[in-house]
Copies of this chain bind each other. A is one copy, B any other.
Amino acid sequence: MSAGIIYGVGLGPGAQDLMSVRADRLVRGARHVAFFRKAGRKGQARAIVEGMLHAEAVEFPMEYPVTTEIPFSDPRYNEILSGFYADCTAHLQRLAKAGADIVVLCEGDPFFYGSFMHLYTRLKDVVPVEVVPAITGMSGAWTATGQPITWGDDVLTVLMATLPENVLAEKIAATDALVVMKIGRNLPKLKCALQTAGRLEDAWIVEYAQMPRQRVQRLTEAKDVTPYFSIVLIHGQGRRP
């Protein structure tokens, strides 16, 4: 029996009809579906495909043993997550070696700051793995603002709000267009960095881009409480005939 294929399928920013035709076909046809989620939650990736799965699809939720309870800098963080990814990998590998195709649901684009990459690097030399790219969350966010993100020769910098404030300020001052992800509790720090860089007035925040709860605001008008998956951005002002 030949091995099954593990598909890392990008679902895009959240609206079902923003999934690619290829992703749509794979998700609806899948008999084995795996996805990450925080323990006790439904899971954002699983929520996106609600109503699309085959009646006989077997679901394999992969529940993070830790999310923000331990800081990244704690040596236990890497150790715990590494064991978790190894367990997930072992299960998917067993299924694939028994001949099953498996669709791993991935929010956004799998190779762009995604969790699937941790499975991918462990699986790619052992079983067949295919990755389906997708619309990134940031594309969903800048489209939601109704303004293009980059023009002409604009430089675009993508930053994680988990970076230190001084690094954020320095990078923000040096770019034309900006996207910042992993916001959540880092928002007050990010606001300080934007202020230091002289760019706070230009910043927008998008919550739940391309989802029913979508909200687009100027950052100066937004509260300090926002989801981890919110996106802050500054539009480039480059050449435009």
Chain A interface (Cβ < 8 Å from any Cβ of B):
12-13, 15-22, 24-25, 72, 77-79, 81-82, 85, 109-114, 117-118, 120-121, 124, 131-136, 139-140, 142-143, 146-160, 162-163, 171, 174-175, 210, 239-241
Contacts and interface: CB of A to CB of B under 8 A. Distances in A.
Question: How many copies of this chain?
Answer: 2
A22 B13 contact: no
Contact of A139 (B19, B134, B155): B134
A27 to B, nearest CB: 11
Q: Which 3 A-B pairs have the closest CB atoms?
A: A81-B241, A156-B158, A117-B148
Contact of A149 (B111, B143, B159, B171): B111
A140 B156 CA distance: 18
Nearest to A15: B22
A210 B21 CA distance: 14
A21 to B, nearest CB: 4
25 contacts: A12-B20, A17-B22, A17-B25, A18-B132, A19-B20, A20-B20, A20-B135, A72-B152, A72-B239, A78-B239, A82-B241, A109-B139, A111-B149, A113-B154, A120-B148, A131-B143, A133-B135, A133-B139, A133-B143, A136-B139, A153-B160, A153-B163, A154-B160, A156-B158, A158-B158
A79 B162 CA distance: 44
Contacts of A153: 160, 162-163
Contacts of A124: 146
A112 B17 contact: no
A109 B144 CA distance: 13
A118 B240 contact: yes
